[in-house]
Amino acid sequence: MPLKVLYQGRHIFEQLRTELRQLYDTEEAEAIARWLMEDFFGLKPIDFITGKPPDLQGWSKWQAALPLLSRHVPVQYVLGYTWFAGHRFAVGEGVFIPRPETEELLALANNFLQQNAHQAPVIADLCTGTGCIAHVLALTHPQAKVYAFDKSPQALFYARLNAEQLKASTIVQQADVLANEFELPLCDLIISNPPYVKESERAQIHPRVKDFEPVQAIFVPDDNPLLFYHAIAKLSTAFLKKNGWIGVEINPTMAEAVAEIFSKAGLAQVAIHRDFRNNNRFVTALRT
């Protein structure tokens, strides 16, 4: 490649975007190309205009990354991190990658805490994964006591690493939500993004997800797809304080079923919420 092209950020971006379009749809290729331009070459979009020279060591990083991306390794695993609610979270093999939809569940929780003016709320995040929900809540509400639970050793590694890197006061503990002996402190708020994709839906899932991310954090059996919501509803009725709030992320096909579970458990003001893609994605309720 001619030297004058090597030094032009816009040309580098165009090359990355062209190659990424072989692997991703147009919109996603664009977003990933911008991300890699900043991570590999040290250039933000504004730098294309100002003519800031790229870090040419980025070429070796790109050449190492492209074969992995071509094998459908998630870009977040390749880079070792992702962004969630404006915070950088370490990720890697064995932990579920946070999704932008989950930021909306976080927003619902924040709205409840703000509207109810809790001075020192007790919060539990079940199936925490990277700890993304728990840690952002702990950072946003420093007076809160936030617990994060997961049964996966790999997930707990990243949850604890992220707590350390973000300086979040979250209490990370190993526990299985489905275990009969699982207990919580009395909580003002319980939140969870549990596994909810049916095994029969596996064929529809991109290899980037089903071949690399931990299956135990994604899939549930077809003959009992709501097992996590039954367990969470039971825990909520036992460990939520009066007027406490519960919010969960769901499979859009199971919205009414999850709402019914919460209603039958005695929870009140059960509501289904849509995500930014207009899919039924969250169910919330109160313990009265």
Alpha-carbon gap, residue 201 to 28, rounded angstroms: 22
Catalytic site residue 153?
Answer: no
What's the burial of 130, exposed, middle or buried (CB within 10 Å: 0-12/13-18/19+)?
buried
Q: Among residues 126, 136, 150, 135, which one has the least CA distance to residue 248?
A: 126
Catalytic site residue 121?
Answer: no
Catalytic site residue 193?
Answer: yes
Q: Which of 54, 98, 194, 225 is catalytic?
A: 194
Question: Burial letters for 195-217: b for 16+ Cβ neighbours within 10 Å, e otherwise?
Answer: bbbbeebeeeeeebbbebbbeeb
**Element containing residue 146 per DSSP (H, E):** strand 145-150
CA 46, chain centre distance (Å): 28
Which residues on neighbouring strands pair with residue 192, listed in sequence order?
126, 248
Q: Among residues 229, 147, 150, which one has the least CA distance to residue 189?
A: 147
Residue pair 248/213 in contact by the 8 Å Cβ criterion: no
Q: Which amino acid is at 186?
A: L
Q: Which of 13, 84, 96, 228 is catalytic?
A: 96
Q: Among residues 65, 50, 63, 59, which one has the least CA distance to residue 6?
A: 59
Kindly tell me the number of DSSP H helices and DSSP E strands found in the chain: 12, 11
**Element containing residue 262 per DSSP (H, E):** helix 255-264
Q: Which of 193, 225, 239, 280 is catalytic?
A: 193
DSSP annotation of 130 reads T
Residue 72: partners with Cβ closer than 8 Å, 6 or more residues away? 23, 206, 207, 208, 211, 212
The residues carrying an active-site annotation are: 96, 193-194
